[in-house]
Structure 1
Amino acid sequence: MADSDSFAAGATFVDGDYVPIGRAAVSVLYWGFTKSDVTYDVVHVWRGAFFRLDDHLARFARSMAALRMTIPHDAGQQARILAGCVQRAGLADAYVAMVATRGVPLFGMPRRPSLMTNRYIAYAIPWIDVIPVPVQERGAHLIVASTPRIPSESVDPTVRNYHWGDLVQAMFEAEAAGADNAVLLDRDGHVTEGPGFNVFAVRDGVVLSPDRGALEGVTRQTVIDICAELGLELRIGPMTRADLYEADEIFTSTTAGGVMPAARIDGRILSNDRPGPVSRRIRETYWAWHEEGRHLTPVAGLV
């Protein structure tokens, strides 16, 4: 096992320097820690190249603007910092994060977030699959959680954030039910998202995706692009529990795992208890785009 002085477990850029992930530290007074006043984004590296890096950097910039945060690094500088983390860790396949936190209030400063200096952190660690690959192969077993999603009027889900209280409770519900993960509804009964992933359903060959309460995922956008290329009809609109129960197929999408099919929802079996044909086709196309080099930004020195 790598020790705290080794980059083998991952690399972090913090306070203007690169350090092994085991030695990375921030103040316990950071509002990102004490008040979840933080935004972040995650991009993956696959076989030595970022996938849709520009899209992730652009979304990160939008999130910072929404939270009135600024950092001293433009998109090009951030790209080099993220690559620096990957290079130091020597990871051909990696989970790479960029984080902006409000910062720490100085002693005697009025309690005003506008007066605080925002902080930037980046790190690269070995690849993460939100749903393990063997589970993806047989199709995930999902539940619809009883915990409702945090209202969008309170916490904007299109701004990536650390407000995971509802998502973590949903994960406990899934574990207690013997399921792999959960999907959350809003208080009006509409489908939103799961812990770290977007949700899709397929019915009569039409791909459906919720129009509310969810992060506008980069992988979700890739699925939308794939549907257009494959000639699959896609509808984005309100979805309810009934839409999940009556679906022929369900699949999820995330940077940390790609397109991940489901086989059950609340014990209801879909597609003979295996990933369905549309889900499989979209998943295969997603990884084929990687193989073809679409949207890839190579990291120097890895391949």
Structure 2
Amino acid sequence: MTLHTSPTRTATDPRYAGGAAYMDGTFMPLGEARIPITDWGYRRSDVVYDVVSVWDGAFFRLDDHLTRFRASMEATRLVPRETDDEIRTMLHRLIALSGLTESYVAMDCLRGAPLPGTARHPKNTRPYLIAFAIPYVRLVSPEIIERGTHAIVASAVRIPDASLDARHKNFHWADMTSGLFEADERGADMPILLDAAGNVTEGPGFNVFVIHDGRVATPDSNVLGGITRLTVIELCAELGLPCDVRPVSAEELRNADEILFSSTSGGPFGVTRIDGRILSNDRPGPLTNRLREAYWAKRKAGWHAEPVRYDLV
């Protein structure tokens, strides 16, 4: 399946050829963006964020991403001065400045340092917004997507919801980072993290689906409400595939017929090995391929698309 078919564009200003950034009200080339090292966004990972993709010159489900981003900001008391409409226009302008037609677009809200003369308490900080647009990034390479991802069940346990609500996309990645190192040491591509009860949660940058006897399931708790996860659930309904949102045990994961990951950075893609066990003849399975092909076909047809306003340079 050929994915990259949109016309080529270039940045009007060559300084933006590598990407564009927005920092607290100011647009600049990506390489000029800087975060003060005293800000709590850096010192305490006090950040919520979201990532939306652009393909064929159009944002995918931008409304959903902005809604989730706003919910994350409000839940963590990280509310910048920009409205949702202003954020939308800012994201369009980042793409227009960069000239990209396929892009990974990140938006972050950071907590600054406490104001001078005030107590070192988060109530005395000013949240602010940063964002950037760079060429489209895949979670794993096209070659790995073609042969299927090799995954492990990590020994690191996911940060519990009681401590940090996973629905609010955040920078607390110590558990995910530990899992990534473990996967690499065990010769795998990606880790899947369990919760303290031994149920599947998610992985670094993706949600998880299991398929058994033609039925799809995805975990219902301690997971990000992924936009691509939502899309896969919708595609299952369209294709007549039963899909349950419920607890998924580690045993069910390890014994699945197929395993599917979903991410903004790559869409739905298959897993062909879990803890060394080979699935689907070591190639992405038939339902995985069906969902992936439907996802990209519908995106190319303009499903949930918002064309980029390239006039905003």
Pairwise TM-score range, normalised by the shorter structure: over 0.9
Superposed counterparts of 1:1-303, under 5 Å: 6-301=15-310
Deviations 1:89-112 (A, max 9, x none): 111100001111121212221122
How far, CA to CA, are the matches of 1:15 and 1:56 in structure 2?
A: 20
How far, CA to CA, are the matches of 1:116 and 1:246 in structure 2?
A: 49
Give the conservation status (yes or no) of the 8 Å contact 1:131–1:260: no
Task: Give the Å deviation of 1:300.
Answer: 2.2
What residue is the counterpart of 2:3 in the other structure? none
Q: Which amino acid aligns with 2:185?
A: A
Name structure 1 gaps, 5 residues minimum.
Answer: none
Give the conservation status (yes or no) of the 8 Å contact 2:209–2:219: yes
Say which is worse superposed, 110-119 or 121-130, in terms of deviation: 110-119
Q: Which amino acid aligns with 1:112?
A: H
Aligned length: 299
How far, CA to CA, are the matches of 1:265 and 1:184 in structure 2?
A: 12
Task: Give the Å deviation of 1:6.
Answer: 2.2
Say which is worse superposed, 135-144 or 101-110, in terms of deviation: 101-110
How far, CA to CA, are the matches of 1:169 and 1:245 in structure 2?
A: 20
Name structure 2 gaps, 5 residues minimum.
Answer: 1-13
How far, CA to CA, are the matches of 1:15 and 1:253 in structure 2?
A: 31
Deviations 1:95-145 (A, max 9, x none): 001111121212221122122211111110111101111111111000010
Q: Which amino acid aligns with 2:208?
A: V
Q: Which amino acid aligns with 2:231?
A: T
Q: Which amino acid aligns with 1:242?
A: E
- Under a length normalisation based on structure 1, what TM-score does the superposition of the two structures give? 0.96
Deviations 1:232-283 (A, max 9, x none): 1001111111111110000100101100111010010111111001100000
- Under a length normalisation based on structure 2, what TM-score does the superposition of the two structures give? 0.93
Give the conservation status (yes or no) of the 8 Å contact 2:93–2:309: no
Deviations 1:58-113 (A, max 9, x none): 00000011011221211111111011111111111000011111212122211221
How far, CA to CA, are the matches of 2:79 and 2:222 in structure 1?
A: 25
Superposed structure 1 runs of 4+ greater than 3 Å apart: none
Aligned-CA RMSD value: 1.3
